[in-house]
Structure 1
């Protein structure tokens, strides 16, 4: 019950619109999943805050362009913004996107918001689809954009951000042994149709994200590399994330939304806070527009949790290598 009361309290917390960095008029931001939900609202804020360049990553160029047109009209900034195609179901699409990122003169933050909830079991690239989208492709994008973030931090004397959007559902007590109890490879263990349940798999993917973020941050001291890596929870909001869930789950979510949900705009404030936050957020969990490491349970931070974290990390790198998208961690973490 205390966790339930804490969730209700969090949902009713008044979230401020974060104050942008003083250099935002010179800054470049990438927002994935930018044509709807949190990504759309986050993008609108960046326009209103006078960010110099905002790149909207969207799976559908048509939907992305429609969203950009609306944002330009709403914010009276007709010459700002661009849409780049990004399909997280395809690692090759991630690589093509990252190749374009390398042509940028600077990158101040990647806000990796795009994700999926799968109602039905589906395999892609040898693993379950939401594992591919939410974890493998999302982290591949994080890895591939790191050099540009590092370069920008060094060249412009700023701290850049690699912000991954996660969920507080990953921190629930029933999640404690979902990963460490698996036999063999983590991604294989979570890709079995007979044990697939939508409202378990989604938190699993978000837990894997948190563990990967914490491990990556541990290898990249901000004082040396200038890049802040963090994970952010937008909270329970009205969004399109549940568009793929089954009828019964959707009914339950609808009822909860009526009682407790934030708007997508309110949720997007959390994304901005994490993308503007200081070194205290490095490797941390952010929620309610603040660093909330106190919400991270001991089973993640203790010795068992750290062992699981390293296991997830190694399995992630092995998976990327297996599908032909190897990561040179030594190169990324050597100054």
Structure 2
């Protein structure tokens, strides 16, 4: 907790910048808050296409207008996406295949913070589907387009998954760990008691960290599959994410005393998308014996990393421990099996781009 408070009161590094001309950027969950501010930053770097994916058409249109007003960038596209519906996720991926081509940056920033159990149209607990399953499904479906971008640019595409430092306070319960299908139990109505739901958001952010690390571990080499997944902690920011939570004096004090403006959180997301690339041009002319890491070494360092405060940081002891390592692989395998049932393309993508 002291580390959290220290970070919130620390000076935030300036936003990382890069020339995004000719590149395609997708930000999921971009109509407000951190996602909107990150989209503003990306727009200011001149991508060929900036696609913001939002559930609400009205809020999405407002975001497009705000991005243009603040940056002058006139090419932001609004695509509708609802992560609580696998049909919507599949439709988004289908449209991207038809209309978009290579994908350089995919930022999975959407999420929910549930006050109580709620089931989706697909029968999953809402937070489990939105924060984990759909956040895993869309990148898998778009992985071929990210590989295409990586090979086309000669530089890995980036997948950014918004996690959180609350994963330090989370672990999976013994009953989940002992279950033959831990994720199915985790998302079941029977398991999701009011007490369990109090920590549901924390646990979902733990799943984000585990999935990012597992994906990085299973991806083929950077030369074969030039995609770098990164989990990012945007910090504690003013957010509409907590709009459905009951009022709480402690939270009110925390928000007014510690919370950042979303733009500061967006800097962390942009670092996860572009970090350690900004030095690349300056290093190309340097000797490989200069003592600085090469761009390739930087990319390897970022692959599967957890980033916070503009740098890579170690994940929780639980994630690194025996239980975490074991559950990371078990949840990965179960997630892939679930998603194969959602979309048959997943099996072929896994076979082509990932190690078993």
Contact 2:172–2:203 at 8 Å: present in 1 too?
Answer: no
User: What residue is the counterpart of 2:212 in the other structure?
Assistant: 213
| Cα displacement string for residues 149-191 of structure 1 (whole angstroms, at most 9, x for unaligned residues) | 001111222221011001111122x526568644232223223
* 265, 268, 271: which one aligns with 2:266: 268
Contact 1:179–1:308 at 8 Å: present in 2 too?
Answer: no
Contact 2:167–2:316 at 8 Å: present in 1 too?
Answer: no
Q: What is the Cα deviation at residue 19 of structure 1? A: 2.6
Distance between the aligned counterparts of 1:43 and 1:121, measured in 2? 31
User: What residue is the counterpart of 1:175 in the other structure?
Assistant: 171
Normalised to the residue count of structure 1, the TM-score between the two structures is 0.91
Q: Label 1:97 to 1:324 Cα distance change in 2 as closer, same or farther (>3 A).
A: closer
User: What residue is the counterpart of 2:286 in the other structure?
Assistant: none
RMSD: 1.9
Q: What is the Cα deviation at residue 196 of structure 1? A: 4.8
User: What residue is the counterpart of 2:310 in the other structure?
Assistant: 289
User: What residue is the counterpart of 1:314 in the other structure?
Assistant: 333
User: What residue is the counterpart of 2:279 in the other structure?
Assistant: none
Match of 1:45, SS state, is helix
Distance between the aligned counterparts of 1:178 and 1:327, measured in 2? 30
Equivalenced residue count is: 324
Q: What is the Cα deviation at residue 12 of structure 1? A: 1.6
User: What residue is the counterpart of 1:231 in the other structure?
Assistant: 231
User: What residue is the counterpart of 2:27 in the other structure?
Assistant: 31
* 1:154 matched to 2:151: yes
Match of 2:193, SS state, is helix
Q: What is the Cα deviation at residue 32 of structure 1? A: 0.7
| Cα displacement string for residues 124-148 of structure 1 (whole angstroms, at most 9, x for unaligned residues) | 2232110010000110011111110
* 142, 146, 165: which one aligns with 1:145: 142
Match of 1:63, SS state, is helix
User: What residue is the counterpart of 1:305 in the other structure?
Assistant: 324
Mapping of residues 85-96 of structure 1, within 5 Å? 85-96=80-91
User: What residue is the counterpart of 1:135 in the other structure?
Assistant: 132
* 1:123 matched to 2:144: no
Q: Label 1:247 to 1:325 Cα distance change in 2 as closer, same or farther (>3 A).
A: farther
Q: Label 1:95 to 1:323 Cα distance change in 2 as closer, same or farther (>3 A).
A: closer
Contact 1:121–1:196 at 8 Å: present in 2 too?
Answer: no
Normalised to the residue count of structure 2, the TM-score between the two structures is 0.86
Distance between the aligned counterparts of 2:165 and 2:222, measured in 1? 25
| Cα displacement string for residues 199-233 of structure 1 (whole angstroms, at most 9, x for unaligned residues) | 30111111111111111101223243111111001
Match of 1:193, SS state, is coil
Please list every run of at least 4 consecutive aligned residues from structure 1 whose deviation after the TM superposition is greater than 6 angstroms: none
Contact 1:230–1:286 at 8 Å: present in 2 too?
Answer: yes
Distance between the aligned counterparts of 1:170 and 1:111, measured in 2? 19
The worse-fitting range, judged by mean Cα deviation, of 322-331 and 65-74 is 322-331
Q: Label 1:107 to 1:132 Cα distance change in 2 as closer, same or farther (>3 A).
A: same
Q: Label 1:184 to 1:276 Cα distance change in 2 as closer, same or farther (>3 A).
A: same
